[in-house]
Structure 1
Amino acid sequence: MHKSRLGVMVIDCEADDLNSHETFWAGVLGREREAGSKDPKYRDLKGPPSELRVLLQSVDHAPRVHLDIETDNIPAEVARLKALGAEEVGACKGWVVMQAPSGHRFCVVSPQRPDFAENANVWND
């Protein structure tokens, strides 16, 4: 048995400096800018804990939006998603990049939001 759910909407920005993108998306979504980010490649847009996490990411590819599926068992979730038709693209820094049959990329990551344990879907492996 393992758990998973949609955890993060990631806005990929083709930029070295996320400041202007962070200002724009915080205004669009009514969220607070992250104070003092530790990693210049990522910015969290702070919102209510009950809502989906929104993360900006500096990338070297064309801008897009991708989803992160959070799970308490990455290998089990990857296997479940493969059985549904997804393909594994590769591993990166502790998460796995997947591709849906539609061609959309998404990531399988560790739990990101504090209410994961009580609100995630339960899957029988």
Structure 2
Amino acid sequence: MALALHHIVIDAHDLPGLARFWCRVLDWKVLSEREREVVIGTDASAPVGICFMPSPDGKSVKNRLHLDLAPDDQEAEVERLLGLGARRVDVGQGAEVGWVVLADPEGNEFCVLRPKRSLIAFR
């Protein structure tokens, strides 16, 4: 079957601002910036990117889909992301979990995991 994940789409109020935040988080770059769409990725031929699209709706509940980020050093990465404008959020995760829940400047939750070696195994 010839099918591949192309973009992860995030609804936003400030498309360029949120795109710049995620570029700093992921060390990606803006690949295309138009009034109603901003695309970021490592380069134009990357296997997947993030596309920011306008939405008039405000965020009111926990995301049903979120990104999990796997750094080499969880504590240092959380501090770096907080410095970029992320904030800590409580979505009911409890204190004994192996991840930290943060939100981007528009309130979209994402997790910073402990370092990982595979998609299915804990390190």
| TM-score category (smaller protein) | 0.3 to 0.5
Which structure shows the bigger proportion of residues in strand conformation? Answer: 1
TM-score, normalising length from structure 2? Answer: 0.40
Higher relative contact order (CA 8 A, sep 6+): 1
Normalised by the size of structure 1, how large is the TM-score? Answer: 0.39
